[in-house]
Amino acid sequence: MTVRIRVISLACTLASTALASADESRGWQDSHAAAAATTTTKVAAPVLNPKPQDYVNYLWIDFLEGTKGASIYYTLDGTVPTSASTKFTGEFKIAQTTTVNAIAIASGGAASTVTSGTYTLTSGPVTESVVYSLGATTADGTYPSQLILGRDGNIYVVSGNGGYGDGAILKITPAGAETVLYAFEGCSQSCTPTSNRDGSLPSSLIEGRDGNFYGTTYSGGTGLCYVQGTSYGCGTIFKLTPAGVETVLYNFNGPAGDSVDGVGPNILIQGRDGNFYGTTVYGGSNGYCDSGAGCGTVFKLTPSGTETVLHSFTYGIGDSIDGAVPGAIFQAGDGNLYGTTGGGGINGSGTVFKISTGGVESVVYSFPLHDIPGATVFPTLAFAGADGDLYGTTMIGGTTDMGSVFKVTTDGAFTELYAFRHGVNGNTSDGSGPVRVLQGSDGNLYGVTNGGGAYAGNPGIYLDSWSGGTVFRITPAGIETVVHAFSGARPGHPSTDGAHPVALLQAPDGNFYGLTSFGGANLAACCDGGDDGGGTVFLLSHPTWSPGRASPP
């Protein structure tokens, strides 16, 4: 648990005597003052509350001044504090057994006696537990890709091939009770005029402000897109009530006819204006990419289902450098939407872009070529930090070619915060292929790597298929720590805790929930009876993770 220590200075008693001049009897007047004063101040020693004793992991120290004008000075190295010691200006953390010595000094220079207390800190391990293992039935599916925490406290999961094989939305309680909230019936194999064209392969899910769920399916629907000559559908945007009633709000029509609205929606957010915004991987008015299928779009959808293409990407035709194949987007504090493209830009390796809700697009940063040292590949922008900068990951590339966590200012100044080193110079534990990052309530960055970790089978391969992956933390100073290493899924060694994590979020209680796309308890029931497993919903907990302040050991 987190314990806040408050050192309280008791109010001091002031006894003052003054020698006044003869004209003091006529009243104090500054212009005639000729007084000399002496002051004797008694300052009570600070009080440590709660009392020094054993605690777990770390404490936040907070001093409260009880004497007006008094300052508190302290030391943590066992020495006696003086006015030359560290002056308290705000709470600070101790993370190991520490003796705190504190003194209060009044404005006149009088000092209290020293209060000393020793806090013995012991570390507790991060506990990983599997909340639910997918693959128990064909209905809940395998290979989950996204999770959200509903306002009702339950976990909602996007399962790629659950239900009838076209994907499902699962509802899972924190205790692990699972319900298939909705199973898509779309067109995973073929579509006929009598098919239920509700969508196929769900790709995103959010909880709207109205309490309903909204999301996208990557394919399916009534659009005329084709894969190997078979009608597949161009994707949908759907609405799902908490009771599991699904409605298609919009069917993408792709490149058919004169339609340029997009193909393959893969992300959806709700803007501050109440409208929905997202991207499609392909489609749009520029047919340069993917044999004429288009380079992707950014779109807007009203709650009533009216869709508008805000921007069609061009890859880099002529003077255009805006990119191609857009991924996730988010709305930053300035009201603009920010995201990344996986290709295009000046170097053809992708971009960070900005677009207003009115459709004005600009490139913030172009990633370097992927065939030179320090290149970045498959970038994903995740969030805008408290400092206003944009944070994200590259799945491969970076200075070690194992993936990186980066930040970029809205003016385009790029900084690599950490480059993963799986298999580099003997390092086999920190992971490779980061795919998610978020800012924790303590200001540190937390995320997952899809590969690598302590249980990797082949160090040096950035996404070794037998490696388990990791959950990591990175401090603002760039110091990386593995919070949990998954055991990996390999022949004869099934990964019951999960393998290849793909998603992570922080719950209001400070703990973390996440997804692995493989592993778990259900092995023979899925995946052709192999050892891979169908994926897990996992929980990471620690005694010091609490609301508003999460920090691992």
Note the pLDDT tens digit of each residue in 136-157.
Answer: 877 888 889 999 999 999 999 9
Q: What is the pLDDT of residue 258?
A: 45
What integer is the mean pLDDT of 8-32?
34
In this prediction, residue 455 has a pLDDT band, given cuts at 50, 70 and 90, of low
DSSP letter (8 states) at residue 528:
G
Short-list 553, 546, 541, 551, CA closest to 127: 541
What integer is the mean pLDDT of 308-323?
78
Q: Is the pLDDT of residue 41 over 90?
A: no
Q: What is the pLDDT of residue 550?
A: 54
Instruction: Report the range of poorest mean pLDDT among 133-137, 283-287, 334-338.
Output: 283-287
Structure confidence by residue, pLDDT tens digits, 84-113: 999 988 767 776 788 889 999 998 889 998
Residue of higher predicted confidence among 547 and 178? 178
Q: How far apart are CA 301 and CA 308, in angstroms?
A: 6
Strands of 390-397's sheet in order across: 376-384, 390-397, 404-408, 414-419
Q: What is the pLDDT of residue 451?
A: 85
What integer is the mean pLDDT of 28-35?
36
In this prediction, residue 378 has a pLDDT band, given cuts at 50, 70 and 90, of confident
What integer is the mean pLDDT of 448-474?
69
Q: How far apart are CA 383 and CA 391, in angstroms?
A: 6
Structure confidence by residue, pLDDT tens digits, 190-215: 555 445 578 888 999 999 999 999 99
In a domain, 324, yes or no: no
In a domain, 485, yes or no: no
What integer is the mean pLDDT of 37-43?
56
Peptide bond into 255 cis (omega under 30): no
Q: What is the pLDDT of residue 495?
A: 66
DSSP 315-355: TT-TT----EEEEEEEE-TTS-EEEEEEEBSTTSB-EEEEE
Residue of higher predicted confidence among 181 and 544? 181
Q: What is the pLDDT of residue 523?
A: 64
In a domain, 101, yes or no: yes
In a domain, 416, yes or no: no
Beta-carbon-side half-sphere exposure of residue 257 (alpha carbons within 13 Å): 7
Q: Is the pLDDT of residue 10 over 60?
A: no
Instruction: Report the range of poorest mean pLDDT among 216-230, 295-309, 495-509.
Output: 216-230
Copy the structure tokens of residue 449.
């790597």
Copy the structure tokens of residue 106.
């009044």
What integer is the mean pLDDT of 324-328?
91
What integer is the mean pLDDT of 36-62?
58
Structurally, the chain folds into a number of domains equal to: 1
In a domain, 84, yes or no: yes
| Residues forming a β-bridge with 202 | 217
In a domain, 26, yes or no: no
| Helix, strand, coil share of the chain (percent; to 5) | 5, 45, 50
Quick one: what percent of the chain has pLDDT higher than 90?
37
In this prediction, residue 228 has a pLDDT band, given cuts at 50, 70 and 90, of very low
Short-list 184, 214, 311, CA closest to 260: 311
Short-list 258, 335, 254, 338, CA closest to 289: 254
Strands 376-384 and 390-397: antiparallel
DSSP letter (8 states) at residue 80:
P
What integer is the mean pLDDT of 404-421?
92
CB 436 within 8 A of CB 457: no
DSSP 92-115: EEE-S-EEEEEEEE-TTS-BPPPE
Domain that holds residue 7: 3-20+38-122
Best-predicted range by mean pLDDT (55-64, 279-288, 317-326): 279-288
Q: What is the pLDDT of residue 490?
A: 55
Report the CATH number at residue 104: 2.60.40
CB 236 within 8 A of CB 250: yes
What integer is the mean pLDDT of 396-413?
87
Q: What is the pLDDT of residue 364?
A: 94
Tokens 């603009």, residue located:
336
Q: How much is the mean pLDDT over the chain?
A: 78
In a domain, 114, yes or no: yes
In this prediction, residue 239 has a pLDDT band, given cuts at 50, 70 and 90, of very high
CB 236 within 8 A of CB 215: no
Strands 3-8 and 59-64: parallel
